Structure 1
Amino acid sequence: MSLSGPLKIAAVLVGLLLAGATPAAALAQDAAPAVRAVPPAEGSGPALWVVRDADSVLYLFGTMHLLRPTTAWGSDRVDQAFAAASQLIIEVAAPADQSVLLPIIREHGLSPERPLSGLLTAEEWTAFDAAANAIGSSAANMEPMRPWLAGVTVQTASILRAGYATESGVEPILRARAEAAGMAVSGFETPDEQIRMLAGFPEEGQLAFLRRSLAAFDAAQTDVDRMVEAWAAGDVDALRAVAVDPLRATPVLYEALLVRRNTRWADQIQTLLEGSGTAFIAVGAMHLAGDDSVQAILFRRGVPVEAAP
């Protein structure tokens, strides 16, 4: 689950392939779920941090974008922090009508003039077709995708077939609660920014990512299970080992997907501290683990971040 943010977009596309619907229909159907309870976690649950100054309280909570419906992560501590906030800030606040994303996906995620069959070896194409078949599609259906989108889709497909779902992810649940409570909801990034970030990688880098996704397809479920288990238990060190450290092996991805984004988010958090009030900030858990986490960047700047009581 290394490409945490764009998994949402890819999951919508995988749903499209499975349903045989039009892109507009698949995206428009992705409405926020009703407010619902979450099974309580064992122990204290996922980690929660807090940044304070004289007139501001900012909670930092790591999320999982896709989860099984039965995943137990409910926490009184998180519920109390959320209830105290007047605004929810998530990684990316997608529009209510997600059909508006279609032009962006078409522009940056599809390239019919450079079909994947011409970029992959015969062996790779066979592996790609097997991954597509696992989600009820085929490589031929996905052939117009650019390599970055194909790679993210392969990653997402391996997770979806293991019973994970976007509607069970943390963000839609928190967003539904926020909207029911009349809280303001905003995002650190836009879908356009996330898509452009991935589409901006050179083609060879995109192909390298797609090939790694294919090689890890069968093991992806185990890796994600370990990641979710560590997250739900609040074991940040284990989460770093499973999700963050492997990304370091590809410095260009590590820098673009984590370091630069975490730095921008730390900037935004410091701007929030210049104001007042209480906010609940929920971003992908891997952004809150490791030496280049949002908290680590804030700490190096002299901004204290503490584990929430």
Structure 2
Amino acid sequence: MDSLGGYIVQALRRAALGLLAFLPFIGTAAAEPALWVAKSGNATIYLFGTVHLLKPDADWRAAKIKTAFDSSSTLWLELDDAAKGGLDEKLLWKYGKDPAHPLSTKLTPAERQKLRAAAAKAGIPPVAFESLRPWLAALQLGKAPMMAAGYNPEMGVDRQLLADAKVADKPVMGLETTEQQMRFFADLPPQVELTLLTQTLDHGAEGAAQLDQLAGAWLAGDVDALNTLLKQEDMAVSDRRLRKLLLGDRNKAWAERLGSLAKDGGTHFVAVGAAHLTGADSLQNFLQQRGFKVTRL
């Protein structure tokens, strides 16, 4: 596996931790995912890392998380249209489908065979992939083993928080649009996009086991372990650029938008993929650069 391809596949496997909102091992009584508070002026912002797929028996609602959520006047999620549910069909056609160039024509005979096998294992007719661009086919196939292992997007933390906000009549704001998130993959160079699919065909089945590890660290609030699992020790320059695109640049933009809350004041609960709250390019660090005092609770 080339270095760039390896990084993209890792990005796919940890999509549940926040690299794409489209898209864990649970069962300890002492569950207490990490939570931070950022303060500036009269503004208080709680920062909570989420996973976008969970098993039904996941119990992540530590007392401090409930207290922070209940005291907040607004819930912020990654997507501004999270409340709508589903994917916009027009955007899906614009960025995720290419019926004029069937997917099978972009693959070698060996890769086509792997695609058929992966589709059969996922219970999806291979013909259903023909109109898809490689990146979307990769996401579909990469998610299937996780769902087969019991992970459910309907049980994702962001979905649960959204439901809580509706019950509490709490306003929901978003940091990005669906179109922005789709373009993170749709704008990849063609060969890189194809690599995403071929490496998923080779290694996608490993995703559920890796998600078990990631989710276990998340559930325990072990940020160091989570960061280690997410980190690529031997990143090439191109890999660092991809991480910058998917994490660093987005975190910086989010910090700029959230930074405006310092003027408005109030208490806000911000829930984004847990990967955004790890590493040197974390959302917390960018908020600190904007004058916020950030403390882990």
TM-superposed CA distance for 1:40, in Å, is: 8.6
Give the Cα–Cα distance (whole angstroms) in 1 for the partners of residues 142 and 223 of structure 2.
23
* Percent of residue pairs identical: 35
Which consecutive aligned stretches of 4+ in structure 1 deviate over 6 angstroms post-superposition? none
For each residue in 1:192-244, what CA deviation from the matched residue of structure 2 results, as whole angstroms up to 9, or x when unmatched?
11112221111111111112222221211110000100000001111112234
Structure 1 residues 236 and 245: alpha-carbon distance in aligned structure 2, compared to 1, 3 A threshold: farther
TM-score calculated relative to the size of structure 1 = 0.84
Deviations 1:65-110 (A, max 9, x none): 0111112312001000001000000011435444670110011100
Q: Separation in 2 of the partners of 1:215 and 1:246?
A: 21
State the partner residue of 2:52.
65
Give the alignment's TM-score, normalised by structure 2: 0.87
Q: 1:159 aligns with which of 137, 146, 165?
A: 146
Structure 1: state its 5+ residue gaps.
11-38
Q: 1:66 to 1:148 in 2, by over 3 A?
A: same
Residues 230-270 of structure 1: per-residue CA shift (max 9 Å, x gap)? 00000111111223437955234212111111111111121
Which whole-Å deviations, capped at 9, do the CAs of 1:148-197 have from their partners, x for residues lacking one? 11111122112111111111100111111111111100110111111122
Q: How big is each residue's C-alpha offset from its partner over 1:23-43, in whole Å with a ceiling of 9 and x where there is no partner?
A: xxxxxxxxxxxxxxxx99633
Bigger RCO (CA 8 Å, 6+ sep): 2
Q: 2:157 aligns with which of 170, 173, 181?
A: 170
The one-letter code sitting in structure 1 at the alignment partner of 2:259 is Q
Aligned length: 280
Cα drift, residue 132 of structure 1:
1.4
Matched AA of 1:258:
L
Query: Is the partner of 1:42 in helix, strand or coil?
Result: coil
CA separation of 1:252 and 1:54: change in aligned 2, threshold 3 A: closer
Q: 1:57 to 1:155 in 2, by over 3 A?
A: same
Which one of the candidate residues 272, 284, 304 is aligned to 2:293?
304
- Deviates most, 53-62 or 121-130: 121-130
Coordinate RMSD, CA, aligned: 2.2
Note the 1:1-309 alignment, pairs <5 A: 1-4=13-16, 5=18, 9=22, 42-43=29-30, 45-94=32-81, 96-98=83-85, 101-245=88-232, 248=235, 250-308=239-297
Structure 1 Cα separation of the partners of residues 121 and 161 of structure 2:
31
Deviation at 1:6, TM superposition (A): 7.1
Residue deviations 1:33-66 (CA, integer Å, cap 9, x gap): xxxxxx9963361000000123111000000001
CA distance in 1, matches of 2:84, 2:40: 37
